[in-house]
Amino acid sequence: MYRKLGWTTLAFSLLFTSCTVGPKYTKPNLPAAPAYSEKPPASFLESPDWKTAQPSDNVIRGDWWAVFNEPELSALEVQVAAANPTVRAAEASFRQARAAVRINRTALFPALTVGPSITSNHLSANNPTGALTARGATFSTFSLPVDLSYEADLWGRIRRAITAAREQYQASAADLENVKLSLQSELAMYYFEARSLDAQRELLDNNIAAFQRALELTQNRFNGGLASRAEVAQAETQLHQTEAQRIDIDQARAQYNHAVAVLIGKNPEEYQLPLAPLKRVPPVVPTGVPSQLLERRPDIAIAERQLAAANEQIGIAKAAFYPRLVITATGGLQSGSIVNWFTWPSRLWAVGPELSQTVLDFGRRRAQLEVTEAAYDEYVNRYRESALTAFREVEDNLAALRVLEQEAAKQHDATASAENSVQLAVNRYKGGIVTYLEVITAQTIALANQRTEVDLMRRRMDASVLLIKALGGGWDTTKLPQS
């Protein structure tokens, strides 16, 4: 009996699993320029690491933060992937999507259930429908049924559901990488913000020491009758104002330290980022070509995989217009006595197909098909929007790096001139040629230019991080799970 059942199931499977209704998925073509319109900064073009002739070799791979050559940053980035709660939540969602693939795949196979039971029965003595000899009888039933149910995938509904689940699984994997990239980029920016504040702190400390010396000079001149009390007050104001700015740096630095701690999954009091002034220039960031961007951005991969899953939903909706075939079989043992329960005469079996077709649903299936088709159109446009946004972000940050490099060069010249002006003003003041007001003016201008130069350094590092993020970090679609 079981051999016949197995052959019957196999025959129906082979007969009805070759048809698939609905559209075949084709990834939409997105136009991509052969190169970015925005030219890289001059420092990139002058670097021996910059190559435009071989774009396939000109991409970031693996741990993208290594290009900054910051051991402390590299150690923190690894902790983000391992301990950040948001990353761990995305990883849990990824595992759910992976399990959903296995759940959908089980529909390809028969469902087998066993329900053994032992019941005692007593019939009513006043039962009007039963035989006279059965009235008031008491008996037992011993059953061991084995039920098998199998839905033949006539129109590809089950296979499309499996494919859709797999594509959502791949989208979840890309989402996990996108979360990592976003948080690791955020960490890198917080890190360089903190390092920039360390540089500002060092700059203010140096100026406070210089202003302290200038105050002592003014007091000595006042004691010698060569300066007025107003000049001493001006020097004191300059010193105390700079000390206040220095204290404000500590408050901002503490906030960035706390932000870094939370990103690596620690309480703020559990981590302290060591002081280290930012003194680096941005690294060379290989950009590749625009067509590669479509394979390197995890958010684009998410949109494309969701689009593919939406296409499968159209096929599932169309399969609802066709009949469903379910093959059922029951076998087992049944007896009124435990003595002969497991004997051959107690066997029973039944097998047969069941075909069902919805005849009237007042447009429900048609409306469901329209829903899936509209959802597909929605995901097509989301996919295109993701790609356009990616192109814009790369161009924006290439422009930012180019402009900021030019601005930093001019700012460096301005800072050098302002520092020279301070030295000239101090010498003129010592010679009694000018009042202390000229010294204060020169010092204020020089400090403002020095702080602007440090801030430009920070903005260039931030733009480098954002460019790497816009390029997708070191990820590409070949890393998507395939099974």
User: What is the per-residue pLDDT for 44?
Assistant: 64
User: What is the per-residue pLDDT for 54?
Assistant: 43
For 267-312, what is each residue's pLDDT tens digit?
999 999 999 999 888 888 888 788 888 899 999 999 999 999 999 9
Q: Are 310 and 376 in contact (CB under 8 A)?
A: yes
- 248: Cβ–Cβ under 8 A, 6 or more apart, which residues? none
User: What is the per-residue pLDDT for 400?
Assistant: 94
Cα(420)–Cα(330) distance, rounded to whole angstroms?
A: 98
Burial (CB count within 10 angstroms: exposed 0-12, middle 13-18, buried 19+), residue 235: buried
Nearest to 393 by CA among 466, 334, 299, 326: 466
Q: Would 61 be classed as within a structural domain? A: yes
Six-digit token string for 14: 């082979």
Give 3-state DSSP helix, strand, coil % of the chain, rounded to 5: 65, 10, 25
Q: How far is CA 338 from CA 6, 139, 140, 142, 363, in A?
A: 29, 12, 9, 7, 54
User: What is the per-residue pLDDT for 338?
Assistant: 85
Which residue numbers in the chain have pLDDT < 50? 1-7, 9-10, 12-16, 50-57
User: What is the per-residue pLDDT for 45?
Assistant: 59
**Segments forming the whole domain that contains residue 257:** 2-118+139-479
User: What is the per-residue pLDDT for 55?
Assistant: 41
- Token pair 């010249």: residue: 413
User: What is the per-residue pLDDT for 227?
Assistant: 84
Q: Would 124 be classed as within a structural domain? A: no
The one-letter amino acid code at 57 reads D
- 214: Cβ–Cβ under 8 A, 6 or more apart, which residues? 235, 238, 239, 426, 439, 443
Q: How far is CA 382 from CA 75, 299, 307, 375, 392, in A?
A: 35, 10, 9, 10, 15
Q: Would 129 be classed as within a structural domain? A: no
Cα(70)–Cα(388) distance, rounded to whole angstroms?
A: 32
Cα(140)–Cα(438) distance, rounded to whole angstroms?
A: 113
Q: Would 131 be classed as within a structural domain? A: no
Q: Would 130 be classed as within a structural domain? A: no
Q: Would 33 be classed as within a structural domain? A: yes
Q: Are 438 and 428 in contact (CB under 8 A)?
A: yes
User: What is the per-residue pLDDT for 182?
Assistant: 96
Cα(158)–Cα(105) distance, rounded to whole angstroms?
A: 8
Side-chain half-sphere exposure of 3, counting CA atoms within 13 A: 0
Cα(27)–Cα(167) distance, rounded to whole angstroms?
A: 13
> Structural domain tally of the chain?
1
User: What is the per-residue pLDDT for 225?
Assistant: 85
For 153-195, what is each residue's pLDDT tens digit?
999 999 999 999 999 999 999 999 999 999 999 999 999 999 9
Confidence (pTM):
0.85
User: What is the per-residue pLDDT for 460?
Assistant: 95
Q: How far is CA 373 from CA 16, 102, 309, 312, 323, in A?
A: 26, 26, 12, 10, 21
User: What is the per-residue pLDDT for 136?
Assistant: 64
Q: Would 132 be classed as within a structural domain? A: no
What is the CATH number for 163?
A: 1.20.1600.10
Q: Would 350 be classed as within a structural domain? A: yes
User: What is the per-residue pLDDT for 38?
Assistant: 77
Six-digit token string for 22: 């609905």
Q: Are 44 and 285 in contact (CB under 8 A)?
A: yes
User: What is the per-residue pLDDT for 301?
Assistant: 94
